[in-house]
């Protein structure tokens, strides 16, 4: 079990640029989640996949955000035309339907700084 991995760990970009983050879940996990966490706050849910299907999106996920999980394995989160308010830690988590109580396993996160 190699755990959930995320790349890159840090990303600094200029306002208006596009960025893409990648998440590799635990291999047998069919559920994948994206969260955003700002300083001093708890994570906030963005979106959720079961296999390759994106089943839920939060209102936080503006039309500048898009997430994919094309083969039901890794996922990407793209932010277009970044704004300073997008600066945050982006966390990915995975779970299985069988996970007791649907415990989620988190990756280390990608810290985005928009200048």
Partner 1 sequence: SQQGEEDPQALSIQEGENATMNCSYKTSINNLQWYRQNSGRGLVHLILIRSNEREKHSGRLRVTLDTSKKSSSLLITASRAADTASYFCATPGQTGANNLFFGTGTRLTVIP
Chain positions contacting partner 1, by CB under 8 A: 4, 31, 33, 40-45, 48, 55-56, 58, 89, 91, 93, 95, 100-109, 111
- For residue 52, the cross-strand partners are none
As measured in angstroms, the least distance from the Cβ of 88 to partner 1 is 12
As measured in angstroms, the least distance from the Cβ of 33 to partner 1 is 6
Q: Which is nearer to partner 1, 91 or 112 (CB)?
A: 91
As measured in angstroms, the least distance from the Cβ of 59 to partner 1 is 10
């Amino acid at each position: 079990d190699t755990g959930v991995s995320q790349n890159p760990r840090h990303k600094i970009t200029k306002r208006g640029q596009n960025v893409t983050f990648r998440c590799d879940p635990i291999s047998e996990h069919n559920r994948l989640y994206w969260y955003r966490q700002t300083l001093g706050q708890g994570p906030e849910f963005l979106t959720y996949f079961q296999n390759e299907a994106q089943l839920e999106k939060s209102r936080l996920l503006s039309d500048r955000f898009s997430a994919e999980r094309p083969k039901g394995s890794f996922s990407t989160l793209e932010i277009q035309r970044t704004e300073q308010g997008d600066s945050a830690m982006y966390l990915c988590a995975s779970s299985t339907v069988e996970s007791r109580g649907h415990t989620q396993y988190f990756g280390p996160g990608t810290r985005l700084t928009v200048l």
